[in-house]
Structure 1
Amino acid sequence: MPTHSTARASSAKHKAVSLHIGLNAVSGDHYGGWTGELAACEFDANDMAAIGKSKGMKPTLLLTKKGTRANVLAGIRSAAKSLGAGDMFFVTYSGHGGQVPDVTGEEDDKQDETWCLYDGQLIDDELYFELSRFAAGVRILVLSDSCHSGTVTREGPPARASVADATPQQRPKLMPRSVALRTYRDHQAFYDKLQRDVAKAAGKSGVDPDTALASVAVSERRTALVKKFKPAVILVSGCQDNQTSMDGDHNGAFTEQLLSVWNHGAFKGNYANFHAVIRSRMPATQSPNLFTLGTAGQFLAQLPFTI
């Protein structure tokens, strides 16, 4: 039986890296002249990096103009190459959420959710595929303070903060539908090829992330959906699919409450408790969501940000 000192030494060998993306604007060259100015996303990224650093992680910051598709993908792929079983990858995004039509799914009118990076959108299919390439046993924590509006089949627009909840300083982190349509029109060949390339690379083991995330917690098909997904992933998003995440002057609404609950490390619960307390502090119009992929039970039971 290993001694306590041996157990501590083994635990100390685990490593963690973190990637923090915060965009206060995007390039109008790609988004049809729209620059999507926000105020607090760089603050969010810096504050998340500070948490990672305080826990012994090596953080990488990608702020606004550095938040490009190439830099974000390079950061994720570098982590995938360097981390093994028991290690941790902590990635955060603060910025606009968008959509492009899904050209590889079964429904003609389905939309893929995106992160609006500086020079182009990162599609959820890409993010799911990149995370699936991590080694078995790697723990991945994703915190996304952005809007992820659902499919166009949902009736009505995303729920927004009411007049009572909102302040003059708040801005929705949602790329306007007109901008999304224009951006896709101007770059349709790029986004269509991107989706097909990801689907081809994933092969038969590829699973649509919307389907996986919607089903993993409640469906008996969980094993079939994620059997090829080797790492353990916890994803906490800033709002539900039919809601809007709000920007602020100093932090996004979700990040502000996360920092308050974390309280410089005074929080002592697990990830599930952490999400529940943050959600209890948010208005009904913005309810953070919790998803898992892979075998994440033990991960969920840990103190947040623990290496």
Structure 2
Amino acid sequence: MTQGYALHIGLNAVDPSKYAGWHGQLFACENDVAVYKSLAEKAGFQEIHMLLTSDATTDNVLQHLRDAAAQLVSGDMLLLTYSGHGGALIDSNHDETDNFGEMSGFDETWCLYDRQLIDDELCDCFGQFSEGVRILVFSDSCHSGSVAKLAAPVDMHTTSDPVTIPRARFAPLDVLMRTYNTHKATYDTIQAPLKTRQDDIRAYVIQFGACQDDELAMEVSGNGLFTAQLQQAMQEPVINYTALFSVIERGFNGRQHPNLFHYGNKAYDFMGQAPFSIQSAPVNVQR
């Protein structure tokens, strides 16, 4: 039977001692986890795991990804979701091709509780999955472009309820630089051996991002804006991931625009499948 493994990560704060005194408070990320967990349950995923705030450490996340890679075989599916701050880290192994002006040469990161998880690490993890495994990623976080371009401060509405205040899910540049300088040896050591490229990945990865690299991902009224739009989109009869993305896009305007990309070994017509469906049929489509 086709297997489904889901890992949902949500952080409403980080450990200040690991981020130069910054606590990174948010209010809606753990709520997002409940949304993704519900979608996984409805889709029939056999294993569903949640890592909330202090449990969302790099060791825990990486161990779950190793476990999933060991269990899943061709045709199986990993659902990986993240809600929290997006960050950036100096690209010390010089493999980054993104160009964000004065901040070119930075890796994108997820701000986990104890440190930043580098995009190189995720790519390396995905490279451990068997050929034909489908990996579906939802990242409701700001990308490094928002930090690089030093976006304007978010307008804050006067309210007694902090959950209803619009907040951006990005780590301030000064915090990121102080954090890197304090833990430089650790981050450089992690990056040095990581050389997996997207073309080396035998799995097929689809990734939904809450915004473009030069934008902010917002949260308001109890959820990330992207996650709320995804939840609403799933109320419609969307036939595949391209259609799902189109429906999600309709809910946005202004400064935040979702992103969708896919890569890896296309052993299955993943993009053409019903969203979140574990069942699939193999086709003769290669990279």
State the TM bucket, normalised to the shorter chain.
0.7 to 0.9
State the Cα distance separating 1:268 from its structure 2 match: 2.8
**Residues 154 and 166 of structure 2 are in contact (CA less than 8 Å); yes or no, is this contact kept in structure 1?**
no
Q: Conserved in 1, the CA contact under 8 Å of 2:164 and 2:221?
A: no
Secondary structure at 1:71 match in 2: helix
The percentage of aligned residue pairs carrying the same residue is 42
Partner of 2:139: 144
Q: Whole-Å Cα distance in 1 between the matches of residues 152 and 4 of structure 2?
A: 36
Structure 1 residues 159, 52: closer, same or farther in 2, change over 3 A? farther
The Cα shift of 1:280 comes to 1.8
**C-alpha displacement of 1:249:** 3.2
Supply the distance in 1 between the matched residues of 2:155 and 2:17 (Cα, whole angstroms). Answer: 33
Do 1:159 and 1:244's aligned partners in 2 also have CA atoms closer than 8 Å? no
Q: Deviations along 1:198-232, whole A, 9 cap, x unmatched?
A: 23xxxxxx32xxxx5xxxxxxxxxxxxx1x21001
* 2:89 aligned with 1:94: no
Give distance in 1, aligned partners of 2:140 and 2:146: 19
Checking the alignment, whether the CA contact within 8 Å between 1:98 and 1:180 is kept in structure 2 is: yes
C-alpha displacement of 1:248: 1.9
Gaps of 5+ in 1: 1-12, 200-205, 213-225
Q: Deviations over 1:144-200 (max 9, x none)?
A: 000112398x6x434777789xx961100000011001100110000011100323x
Alignment deviations for residues 60-107 of structure 1 (CA, whole Å, 9 cap, x no partner):
000001000000001111000000000000000000001110011167
Residue of structure 1 in register with 2:194 after alignment: 198
> Structure 1 81/285 Cα, relative in aligned 2: closer, same or farther at 3 Å?
same
Query: Which residue pairs with 2:59 in the alignment?
Result: 70
CA distance in 1, matches of 2:58, 2:91: 19
Query: Who is 1:116 aligned against?
Result: 111
* 1:177 is the counterpart of 2:145: no
Maintained 8 Å contact 1:159/1:243: no
Return the letter of the residue paired with 1:281.
G
Q: Identify which of 19, 24, 29 aligns with 1:36.
A: 24
> What residue is the counterpart of 1:254 in the other structure?
226
Partner of 2:285: none
**Deviation sequence 1:235-275 (CA, Å, 0-9, x none):** 00000000000122311000000000102xx4332101101
Contact map agreement 1:160 1:244 (CA 8 A) in 2: no
CA contact (8 A) 1:161 1:286 kept: no
Match of 2:10 in 1: 22
**8 A Cα contact 2:141 2:210, kept in partner:** yes
Confirm or deny: 8 A CA contact 1:31 1:183 kept in the other structure: yes
Deviations 1:13-53 (A, max 9, x none): 11101000000000001001111110110010121011101
TM-score by length of 2: 0.87
Per-residue deviation, 1:281: 1.1
C-alpha distance in structure 1 between counterparts of 2:41 and 2:61, whole Å: 19
In structure 2, what is the Cα distance between the partners aligned to 1:71 and 1:87? 22
The alignment partner of 1:192 has SS state of: helix
Supply the distance in 2 between the matched residues of 1:183 and 1:20 (Cα, whole angstroms).
25
Q: What RMSD over aligned residues (CA atoms) do the two structures have, in Å?
A: 2.1
Correspondence 1:134 to 2:129 = yes
Residues matched between the structures, number: 265
Shift, 1:277, TM fit: 1.2
